[in-house]
């Protein structure tokens, strides 16, 4: 597919400098490299600035309600395993109202890419603090500074059982493109947290450009504790934190189907087969 082949005719309406532009570019490049047919790709989003992303790419698109991108994406993948299914959205969408879906999709390990653009605020509704907001953040909803402990989505994903976890930074687009490409070709659930500053309400570009570091070359991506150590570090490490192989949801479902076919008449499956 030619360069730009996955871009739709719609033009992004994000604020100039928004970190979502880099996320869009990385995902478009990954699709152009892996070359699925646009009609075989399903992009699913919830609500928020990051959830506008599917409209800017050529594919089937499903715009769900707030926080529900992952169950809809899971349903599409289970219904048609041949599809390339990608869920996108922000930290508020995925970790607040969508937090429970995030956990349970992770542990099922479906063949889905989840791209979370994380800016620490609800940018579409005037910058209230999100679940990843840093302590002390002054916002519309925390006028005296946030007093909550922030959620670390990468560490949470590693803890729950994700098989691919990476963190990128919109200010490092070359690395982000490679991260998203690696996530696209991973077997199983791939989670990519994109540190995506909101230039309007919470511009963290200066701090991230100064403090973000790439994952050390010697890091063992199969070492869960080592991955957690990097995820929890005060230094925002970017790159692939964790990458292992494990049975996917479809492999497990196929094994259940085989067991059901072998079921005897004294099992529930065997009884149900009598009425098939």
- Whether 233 is covered by a domain: the verdict is yes
Q: In terms of domains, do 153 and 255 share one?
A: no
CB 192 within 8 Å of CB 181: no
Closest among 224, 169, 130, 179 to 30, alpha carbons compared: 179
Whether the predicted pLDDT of 4 surpasses 80? no
- Whether 8 is covered by a domain: the verdict is no
Closest among 55, 40, 60, 46 to 7, alpha carbons compared: 55
| pLDDT band at residue 1 under the 50/70/90 scheme | very low
Q: In terms of domains, do 143 and 200 share one?
A: yes
pLDDT score, position 198: 96
pLDDT score, position 2: 39
56 backbone dihedrals φ, ψ, rounded to 5°? -95, 5
For residue range 190-220, list pLDDT tens digits in order: 999 999 999 999 999 999 999 999 999 999 9
pLDDT score, position 255: 84
Average pLDDT over residues 255-263: 70
Q: In terms of domains, do 150 and 265 share one?
A: no
β-pairing verdict for 164-169 and 190-195: parallel
Residue 97 has what DSSP assignment? I
- Whether 5 is covered by a domain: the verdict is no
Q: In terms of domains, do 217 and 266 share one?
A: no
Domain count, the chain: 2
pLDDT score, position 86: 98
For residue range 7-46, list pLDDT tens digits in order: 999 999 999 999 999 999 999 999 999 999 999 999 999 9
Q: In terms of domains, do 70 and 193 share one?
A: yes
Q: In terms of domains, do 219 and 87 share one?
A: yes
Find the domain containing 143 and state its range: 20-245
Q: In terms of domains, do 159 and 28 share one?
A: yes
Whether the predicted pLDDT of 221 surpasses 90? yes
Q: In terms of domains, do 56 and 157 share one?
A: yes
Residue 131 token pair? 């679940």
For residue range 86-108, list pLDDT tens digits in order: 999 999 999 999 999 999 999 99
Q: State the CATH number of the domain containing residue 164.
A: 3.40.50.970
Q: In terms of domains, do 239 and 258 share one?
A: no
Q: In terms of domains, do 266 and 180 share one?
A: no
Q: In terms of domains, do 206 and 260 share one?
A: no
């Amino acid at each position: 597919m030619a360069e730009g082949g996955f871009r739709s005719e719609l033009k992004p309406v994000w604020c100039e400098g928004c970190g979502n532009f880099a996320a869009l570019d990385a995902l478009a490049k990954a699709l152009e490299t892996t070359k699925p047919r646009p009609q075989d790709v399903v992009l699913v989003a919830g609500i928020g600035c990051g959830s506008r992303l599917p409209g800017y790419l050529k594919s089937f698109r499903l715009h769900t309600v707030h926080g529900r991108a992952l169950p809809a994406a899971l349903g599409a993948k289970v219904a048609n395993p041949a599809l390339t299914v990608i869920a996108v959205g922000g930290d508020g969408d995925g970790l607040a109202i969508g937090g429970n879906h995030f956990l349970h999709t992770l542990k099922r390990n479906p063949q889905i890419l989840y791209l979370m653009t994380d800016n620490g605020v609800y940018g579409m509704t005037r910058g209230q603090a999100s679940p990843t907001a840093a302590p002390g953040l002054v916002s519309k909803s925390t006028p005296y500074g946030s007093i909550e402990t922030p959620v670390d989505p990468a560490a949470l994903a590693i803890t729950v059982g994700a098989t691919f976890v990476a963190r990128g930074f919109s200010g490092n687009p070359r690395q982000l493109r490679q991260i998203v490409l690696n996530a696209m070709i991973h077997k199983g659930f791939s989670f990519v947290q994109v540190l995506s500053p909101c230039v309007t309400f919470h511009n963290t570009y200066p701090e991230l450009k100064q403090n973000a570091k790439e994952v050390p070359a010697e890091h063992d991506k199969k070492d869960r504790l080592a991955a957690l150590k990097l995820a929890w570090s005060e230094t925002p490490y970017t790159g692939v934190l964790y990458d292992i192989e494990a049975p996917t949801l479809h492999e497990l479902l196929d094994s259940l189907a085989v067991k059901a076919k072998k079921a005897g008449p004294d099992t529930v499956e065997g009884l149900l087969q009598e009425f098939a």
